[in-house]
Amino acid sequence: MLTLDDFDFHLPPELIAQHPAANRTASRLLDLTVGPPVDRQFVDLPGFINPGDLLVFNDTRVIKARLLGQKDSGGQIEVMIERIVDRHHAVAQIRASKSPKPGSRILLENAFSLTVTGRTGEHSEFFALELSDDGDLYTLVEQHGHLPLPPYITHLAESNDETRYQTVYARHLGAVAAPTAGLHFDEAMLAKLTASGVELAWLTLHVGAGTFQPVRVHDLSKHRMHSERFEIPPATVEAIARTRIRGGRVIAVGTTSLRALEAAAQSGEIQAGAAETAIFITPGYAFRVVDRLVTNFHLPKSTLLMLVSAFAGSDTIRDAYAHAVAKRYRFFSYGDAMFLERKNHAV
């Protein structure tokens, strides 16, 4: 039985990166594709990717999901959008001295009002909200909201974060957290990869606030993931097929890209289109699509640490994280990166 304690490690707080590196490619890269951990620089990544390989990126764009306001009673409130369902409805976490009741209205940023229609989610940790005014929620949130940095980053979003907490290829609004492995890539690196014969492909998975929710059960078989929306274009499925024919490797940029690809292949062959996934990948999972993974370092006891342990092997990841701590790598969203090789294959 896998337990939460199997994925714990000691992380000195000062190794949690609070700001991005001077430029996107200036981070370090721990290479685990050649055996024992090798310390490299991220700028050197194109040299480790062969012509004919395929890199798959998540092109979601982070919305300004953090909003401040007041309840009808005048009490202060903070709303963190989890998902914009459509132009008039959203699901969100709400922080307040007392939780708002169904039917109550909240005024956000002195600009627009939402009505609380109830609770939602497996543990009812989210509130269902409906726009009370005219307009479009996507537009209103982008006009008046604040960029939602992860809870382990201690400063509020600044002008530099507005740029650096988005990938250079972010296109489709909908995420409340960035697909952080992609933050290391700049336009020059993407151009270099393409010029060297590496193919690039895209998908969209809108990362939810659930990515930061702690696992609340000791027995991992009882954990249930939050659902996230994703879409895989036909062009990406075709690119994967071409890569297989020419003997190349499919390399996911980030755990979100990996989760979308593996979720789309649960029937055996990867399927194009839009869907929802609550896939929970732990050691023992048989990967069907992804051969290599570019990823950041993840939180202790997190589902993402479980995922990379499934991908590269628990012992490999345990040793790599000990190495990273000893070598003072920078952790989490604004931190350094890893390059992993898949350990097991589908049967």
User: Residue 145: what residue type?
Assistant: G
Q: Are residues 44 and 85 in the same domain?
A: no
In a shared domain, residues 204 and 221? yes
Whether 95 and 199 share a structural domain? no
CATH code, domain with 99: 2.40.10
Per-residue pLDDT of the chain (347 residues; tens, 9 = 90+): 899 999 999 999 999 999 999 999 999 999 999 889 999 999 999 999 999 999 999 999 999 999 999 998 889 999 999 999 999 999 999 999 988 999 999 999 999 999 999 998 655 778 999 999 889 999 999 999 999 999 999 999 999 999 999 999 999 999 999 999 999 999 999 999 999 999 999 999 999 876 667 788 888 888 888 889 999 999 999 999 999 999 999 999 999 999 999 999 998 999 999 999 999 999 999 999 999 999 999 999 999 999 999 999 999 999 999 999 999 999 999 999 999 999 965 43
Q: Do 56 and 85 lie in a common domain?
A: no
pTM score: 0.94
Which residue, of 144, 176, 195, is where some domain finishes? 144
SS3 track for 300-322: CCCHHHHHHHHHHCHHHHHHHHH
Q: What pLDDT does residue 338 have? A: 98
Instruction: Please say which residue of 78, 110, 144 terminates a domain.
Output: 144
Whether 173 and 185 share a structural domain = yes
Q: Domain limits at 92?
A: 66-144
Report yes or no on 276 lying in a domain. Answer: yes
Separation of alpha carbons 333 and 175, rounded Å:
14
Task: Evaluate the CA torsion angle 226, 276, 345, 57 in order and state its sign.
Answer: negative
Whether 78 and 52 share a structural domain? no
Give residue for tokens 């992993």: 340
Using DSSP, how many helices (H) and how many strands (E) does the chain show? 7, 17
Domain count, the chain: 2
Spatial CB neighbours of 111, under 8 Å, sequence gap ≥ 6: 140, 143, 144
Residue 208 lies in a domain: yes
* Same domain, residue pair 115 and 207: no
Q: Tell me, what CATH number does 224's domain have?
A: 3.40.1780.10
> Is 39 inside any structural domain?
yes
